[in-house]
């Protein structure tokens, strides 16, 4: 039987353990979470039981990829 986990709140950086992808929780729809890559792109759904909160190293990697202020590297459109 799968481990029961509480759904992380919106904005949480998580790892989908089924696909090993890192995503940001954008919302909840029924039993699923809506996830989106930290740098944007096509979102996907995952069950809360299939995700875990990203480790500190994974969060730092995402901070570098996105920028602590939320901007993308080389994004001159501000």
Determine the pLDDT at residue 60: 83
Q: Taking the model in full, what pTM does it have?
A: 0.74
pLDDT band at 14; cut points 50, 70, 90: very high
Predicted local distance difference test score (pLDDT) of residue 12: 95
Q: Does 2 score more than 60 pLDDT?
A: no
Find the largest Cα–Cα distance for the chain: 49
Give the residue extent of every domain in the chain: 13-52
CA distance 66 to 57: 14
Which pLDDT score is estimated for 36?
95
């Amino acid at each position: 039987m799968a481990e029961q986990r509480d759904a992380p709140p919106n904005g949480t950086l998580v790892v989908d353990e089924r696909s090993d992808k890192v995503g940001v929780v954008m919302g909840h729809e029924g039993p699923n979470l809506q996830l989106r890559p930290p740098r944007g792109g096509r979102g996907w759904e995952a069950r809360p039981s299939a995700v875990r909160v990203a480790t500190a190293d994974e969060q730092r990697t995402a901070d570098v990829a996105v920028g602590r202020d939320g901007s993308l590297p080389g994004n001159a459109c501000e």
